């Protein structure tokens, strides 16, 4: 049998290459699909190097949402897929999206399925999106799946927008306050050094501390800035490693206030994603493999990995989920209910909606605490600076009065 070289995208969105033996190219392609991979290039071994798909092109979530909604409407209206893509390419202003859609259309023209064509562009279409489109192709309800994906993306965009809006004012306070304190320490305080020296008396401790800090910043700002940049780079590299990412995500879950909020955000994402995939007809094992990649927290992702292994061995989902100890009891109990009633996607939607409401309320509560805390800290720093500057003057007046 002939041997084929291939380039494919696995269920996590990673690019993989390899070689396999099968009767012909079609059989080799089908074999890759059955293994959960999406072949983007395949040819007989020895016929030259394979050309890899362009993976770096990124598309914003908002643009992907609009594309999904428009494509769903065009397909619903009876327009053939190629004509629908041509229409979208013509009316798309985003150059990155236009480039991706043009390449996808070319791949469809050459006989590639839509899901396989999308899989060749993981920078634009995440694994969840590709798996749902594949499920829609297999079920014959591509239009319904695209509409569902558009609604899902719209919900995510709204949630991200709400979070950004809620954090905008606290971040502005922190930035302005930090800039004000830094300017005082570097530019204003040094001007008082000569004035205090003329007093010919011992300075109060707060004033000495302030002058030393100001002098250190003015003299060693380059070393301090370089040290911070070095620490930031080292921290990013550490967090980028598997062990560092696990430690960082575990630390995030243990933070007061933010830890429980982070866990609920991840659980809501898990529930929504798993429900979407199961509703689209994606097998549970493949769905769980996609879910672990979209969680954004390695602690819970590894928990999903362990659950997936036990489900593969024939166990239910709820039991292993409870044994991991990193998932809330509500999630495990509701999944057990969904398995008993046979409506797991519906139950997962209920869990996701419940946690979405909790996340929104807790986010407002956390923001309401952060704002006064920032004001308190910045106010205390500025008050300390003013007090340290005035103390020598008060001390001199008392000395002269005595």
Burial class of 162 by CB neighbour count within 10 A (0 to 12, 13 to 18, 19+): middle
Evaluate whether 21 touches 2 at the Cβ level (below 8 Å): yes
366 Cβ contact list (under 8 Å, min separation 6): 257, 258, 261
Binned at pLDDT 50, 70 and 90, residue 53 comes out as very low
Distance separating alpha carbons of residues 172 and 176, to the nearest angstrom:
6
3-class DSSP assignment, residue 6: strand
Predicted TM-score of the model (pTM): 0.70
DSSP 121: -
Q: Compute the radius of gyration of the chain from its Cα atoms.
A: 29
Strand 38-44 and strand 3-9: the pairing is: antiparallel
Segment 173-186 mean pLDDT: 86
Mean pLDDT, range 18-38, rounded to an integer: 75
Residue 55 has pLDDT above 60, yes or no: no
Mean pLDDT in residue range 154-174:
83
Q: Which helix (H) or strand (E) holds 372?
A: helix 344-401
What mean pLDDT is reported for the chain?
Answer: 84
Report residue 401's pLDDT band, with 50, 70 and 90 as the boundaries: low
């Amino acid at each position: 049998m002939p041997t084929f070289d291939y380039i494919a995208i696995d269920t996590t969105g990673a690019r993989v290459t390899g070689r396999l033996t099968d009767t012909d190219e079609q059989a080799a392609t089908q074999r890759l699909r059955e293994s959960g991979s999406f072949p983007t290039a395949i040819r007989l071994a020895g016929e030259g190097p394979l050309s890899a798909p362009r993976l770096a092109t990124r598309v914003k979530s908002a643009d992907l949402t609009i594309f999904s909604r428009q494509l769903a409407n065009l397909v619903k209206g009876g327009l053939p897929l190629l004509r629908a893509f041509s229409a979208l390419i013509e009316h798309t202003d985003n150059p990155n999206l236009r480039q991706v859609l043009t390449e996808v259309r070319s791949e469809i023209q050459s006989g590639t399925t839509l899901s396989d064509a999308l899989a060749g562009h993981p920078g634009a279409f995440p694994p969840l999106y590709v798996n749902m489109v594949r499920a829609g192709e297999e079920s014959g309800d591509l239009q319904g799946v695209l509409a569902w994906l558009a609604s899902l993306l719209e919900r995510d965009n709204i949630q991200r927008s709400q979070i950004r809006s809620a954090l905008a004012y606290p971040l502005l306070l922190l930035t302005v306050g930090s800039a004000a304190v830094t300017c005082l320490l570097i530019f204003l305080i040094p001007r008082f050094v000569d004035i205090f020296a003329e007093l010919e008396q011992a300075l109060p401790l707060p004033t000495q501390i302030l002058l030393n800090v100001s002098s250190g910043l003015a003299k060693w700002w380059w070393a301090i800035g370089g040290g911070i940049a070095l620490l930031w780079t080292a921290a990013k590299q550490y967090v980028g490693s598997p062990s560092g990412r696990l430690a960082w995500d575990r630390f995030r879950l243990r933070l007061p206030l933010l830890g429980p909020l982070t866990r609920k955000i991840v659980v809501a994402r898990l529930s929504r994603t798993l429900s979407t995939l199961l509703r689209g007809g994606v097998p549970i094992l493949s769905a769980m493999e996609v879910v672990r990649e979209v969680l954004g927290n390695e602690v819970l992702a590894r928990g999903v990995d362990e659950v997936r292994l036990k489900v593969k061995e024939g166990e239910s989902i709820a039991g292993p989920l409870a044994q991991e100890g990193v998932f809330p009891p509500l999630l495990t109990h509701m999944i057990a209910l969904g398995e008993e009633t046979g409506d797991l996607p519906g139950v997962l939607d209920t869990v996701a909606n419940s946690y979405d409401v909790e996340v929104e309320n807790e986010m407002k509560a956390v923001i309401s605490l952060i704002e006064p805390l920032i004001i308190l800290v910045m106010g205390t720093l500025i008050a300390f600076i003013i007090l340290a500057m005035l103390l020598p003057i008060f001390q001199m007046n008392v000395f002269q009065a005595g």
